[in-house]
Chain A
Amino acid sequence: MGQPTITRHSSDVLIIGAGGAGLRAAIAAREAGKTVTIVCKSLFGKAHTVMAEGGMAAAMGNVNPHDNWQVHFRDTMRGGKFMSHPRMAELHAKESPMRVWELETYGALFDRTPEGKISQRNFGGHEYPRLAHVGDRTGLELIRTLQQKVTSLQQDDKKATGDAESGIKVFAETTMIRLLMRDGRVGGAFGYQRATGDFFSFTAAAVIIATGGLGKTFKVTSNSWESTGDGLALALRAGATAINMEFVQFHPTGMMWPPSVRGVLVTESVRGDGGVLRNSEGKRFMFNYVPEVFRDQYATTEEEGDRWYTDPDNNKRPPELLPRDEVARAINAEVKAGRGSPHGGVFLDIGSRRSEEFIRRRLPSMYHQFKQLADVDITKEPMEVGPTGHYAMGGLEVDPDTQATNIPGMFCAGEASGGLHGSNRLGGNSLSDLAVFGKRAGDAAVAFVDEHGHQTPKFSDDELQAYAHEALEPFRHAGESGYENAYDIHRALQEMMFSLVGIIRTEDEMREALAELDKLDERAKKLKAEGPIAFNPGWHLCFDVENMLLLGRCIANAALLRQESRGGHTRNDFPTMDPEWRRTLLECSLDGGTVKVARIPGPKVAPELMALFDRHELEKYFTTEEIDEAEAANRAGGATAATGEGA
């Protein structure tokens, strides 16, 4: 094989990933006049954002006027068990209403209230109806709207320059396999186009990682094909740091049957709209699983829970709407106690509680999904559901205001970044996260280009050729014995991660997982790809598998170290929350190819944000010393300086 050709492309800003965060960043950067390149693994408009169902959380107060940013902030902090980065949670709560309204100016059509405003629905952990939504296909609306806004910016560029791609160029079905680095600074990325196997380098003054999550590391997952954590792995290899990797959200309600759809998401809106969880005895078991920290906020009887749907001001919400980690653990416990459904889940029943007309109007995708894939009519029969790998709270460590990583020129937004959601994400907070921090990352990248754009590093042909040579390695072993295909290793990794590093963890299992990862790493050194280079999924998967092996190790290592249970990290051997661990972050990095996990102090909660909670509630999460310190600062009136930065 001769030297492959490498096509070079450059722009001011390179965005890796075309989901909600990447597209919102692209819009921000282009509106500021920068040239933008978007690369994405799938076709344009197919990213995993499309699968979000329930809605986009924003305290607009359209349905309940008591809602405001402080209430949203409180809910986010509680949902994340006070591990959420307080400054990010504050920015997120303050800015998400404008990010939603902005989507309407791009053409989004949300469901409406009788006054013609954007309707908002109830969701787990949100005190008021807060999720802007379109039936149960809100993610599709978000990504299509952003895609259409990008298209309209391209139309403007065409009018101005004659070339629609002069301002934003999209390279669809293009996979990045390495970040281009020079002297500790990022200057672009290198990868291949899936259709042809041709290599590309994209140089840029600023790079935004918006590659989403890593759900495909687990066997049972709601995530799409793309969620293999590429951006995270590439950034770690380039010297970035990641936090909160031990926190993985298992969504309580994934489909259980048939096996081929196991893990496919059943939206939380089913519960928000009146659906309840029952065990094999027909009991609403969630009433037995309200944890101490949430006891004041949830109903204690079925009657009160049911009254809440129509009279939320005078009743407490049903425990089916606890944050996701609580519900997932409860389901897990019911199944283990032998009270599960025939296929190992529990029953989610809305058919006996709401009319057929209501269900088909509010939950059309769910109706069709069950009808078509499981032969279940959800207006008449209960659904079988169980936990499914859904969301990585962990991700690249970023500055809360600019989304800048520790690497100059590298920014990160969306699921690939860590911090906002702490140890557990609330439903609806991810679509707003994408829009709020996608825009912030885009704005910050623009500022970086203005300041440092003239020093963008260059990369020689020889260097790029060496990367291409390395990428082609699996083809050199086609047909060779002792080498294996990536599919087998991927399957083994997924099964191991789901059974050992899944929803409930112990020290022994973490150690076993790390030993298994050693074996898989050895096997992954001998990967082969058969056939031609053009659109060859067997070759593509080789890169994905290496990324997932790295991230699986980060998760297992961090999960071993954190000796407490909190949010998306449950240790059977350490079943309670520990206030000392609350202020400790686990920071993953690569040191000479080895995953290193460091304990670092977490961000302090600014005294004026602490003042938004009762002391009684703070005592469940914070050390007395922290609370006293914040109260003293507030009494002294000096609460203005601290904003929760660093520690």
Chain B
Amino acid sequence: MGYTAHFRVWRGDANGGGLVDYEVEVNPGEVVLDVIHRIQAEQAGDLAVRWNCKAGKCGSCSMEINGYPRLACMTRMSIYRQDEIINVTPMRTFPVIKDLVTDVSFNFEKLLSIPAFAPPPGLQPGEYRMQQEDVERSQEFRKCIECFLCQDVCHVIRDHEENKKQFAGPRMFIRLAELDMHPLDVADREIAAQEDFGLGFCNITKCCTEVCPEGIKITDNAIIPMKERVVDRKYDPLPFWRRRRRVEERATPQ
């Protein structure tokens, strides 16, 4: 049976704002986004919310519901008690544009900085051959719907604006891992992960994995293996020594 829920929705913009109370009808089977839409249609036509597919496939309706980063379209109302006050706020890691909509351009800038897929030179379309078990590792990361909830929850940049320059965040680490594990990618991604994208900042608290609506094992399958390979490359004595030799040779005037 339907009931009346008590929502508190953050309303405001870059200049400030606060929580506004709404009493709103809830029907069986509904998700939080349905309730937000009802508020919009019946009580606050200008309530800003980003959404698109309403089926957990596009990653647009990311927000924080009772403080937890979630897709509003995949959050069933039945997980909350009927007398519970439901707080809905915008993602905290990104600047607010209006109400529940944030400026996520940080993520698109980082995506632009990751060097593209680099196939072996001369390999023609139609000639690509890869085994299923080899593509599966990267396919897990390509399930990413770019909802940026992992970026939102990551404590390296949540409340630490100053780290955003050096740290790309979990979404970018799985992109790097995906390319690194692509059977036909020939570019070197590992040292860059550490030096250009701040992999070392991550101290594997797994918050990103926990909020991922696609269930991607971001920490275990992408970040930790990348960290291990970086360590191999940078600190394993033999390659370390070879690299040092090369650097010294280059530095020595001929």
Contact = CB atoms under 8 A, between A and B. Distances in A.
A487 B139 contact: no
A152 B116 contact: yes
B20 interface: no
Contacts of A110: 135
B142 A141 contact: yes
A369 B57 CA distance: 10
A225 B40 CA distance: 14
Contact of A46 (B59, B98, B128, B130): B59
Contacts of B203: none
A196 B199 CA distance: 35
Contacts of A2: none
Contacts of A369: 55-56
B31 interface: yes
Interface in A370-387: 372-374
A206 interface: no
Given A107-B182, A154-B112, A257-B29, A148 B54 contact: no
Contacts of A144: 142, 144, 146
A539 B76 CA distance: 28
B58 interface: yes
Contact of B46 (A97, A137, A537): A537
Interface string B30-65: 110010000011001111111111111111100000
Contacts of B30: 258-260
A485 B41 CA distance: 8
Contact of A106 (B117, B146, B215): B117
Interface in A533-551: 534-539
B52 to A, nearest CB: 5
Contacts of A137: 57, 143
A538 B99 contact: no
B130 A116 contact: yes
Interface residues of A, number: 69
A411 to B, nearest CB: 24
Contacts of B132: 111-112, 119
Interface residues of B, number: 61
Contacts of A488: 41
Interface string A250-282: 000000011111001100000000000000000
Given A195-B97, A259-B29, A264 B55 contact: yes
Contacts of A112: 130-132, 135
A135 B111 CA distance: 24
Contact of A529 (B45, B135, B215): B45
B93 interface: no
Nearest to A536: B46
Nearest to A264: B55
B212 interface: no
Contact of B101 (A195, A529, A539): A195
A42 interface: yes
B142 A225 contact: no
A374 B76 CA distance: 9
B57 A530 contact: no
B139 A151 contact: no
A556 B237 CA distance: 75
B27 interface: yes
Contact of B98 (A116, A134, A141, A534): A534
B129 interface: yes
A43 B40 CA distance: 21
Interface string A106-126: 110111100111010000000
B29 A151 contact: no
A134 B125 CA distance: 18
Nearest to B144: A144
Contact of A373 (B74, B104, B138): B74
A115, A530, A538 — most chain B CB neighbours (10 Å): A538
Nearest to B129: A116
A518 interface: no
Contacts of A225: 51-54
B28 interface: yes
Contacts of A98: 125-126
Contact of A534 (B13, B44, B144, B182): B13
Contacts of B74: 372-373
A195 B13 CA distance: 11
Nearest to A541: B45
B115 interface: yes
A98 B56 CA distance: 31
Given A109-B138, A538-B46, A101 B58 contact: no
Interface in A152-211: 152, 154-155, 164, 195
Contacts of B67: none
B53 A48 contact: yes
A531 interface: yes
Contact of A195 (B31, B59, B98): B98
Contact of A43 (B50, B112, B144): B50
A60 to B, nearest CB: 8
A258 B77 CA distance: 12
Nearest to B53: A224
Contact of B45 (A151, A152, A374, A537): A537
Given A51-B57, A195-B97, A530-B45, A105 B29 contact: no
A587 interface: no
Given A105-B119, A530-B46, A535-B48, A50 B129 contact: no
Interface string B118-130: 0100010110111
A225 B61 CA distance: 12
A261 B103 CA distance: 28
Interface of B: 13, 27-31, 34, 40-41, 44-60, 74, 76, 97-99, 101, 103-104, 108, 111-112, 115-117, 119, 123, 125-126, 128-132, 135, 138-139, 142-146, 179, 182, 185, 215
27 contacts: A46-B59, A48-B53, A51-B58, A97-B126, A98-B126, A105-B128, A107-B117, A109-B142, A109-B182, A111-B132, A111-B135, A116-B131, A140-B145, A144-B144, A151-B112, A151-B116, A155-B116, A224-B54, A225-B53, A258-B28, A261-B29, A261-B54, A368-B56, A488-B41, A530-B45, A535-B101, A537-B49
Interface of A: 42-46, 48, 50-51, 97-98, 101-102, 104-107, 109-112, 115-117, 119, 134-135, 137, 139-141, 144, 148-149, 151-152, 154-155, 164, 195, 224-226, 257-261, 264-265, 365, 368-369, 372-374, 485, 487-488, 491, 529-532, 534-539
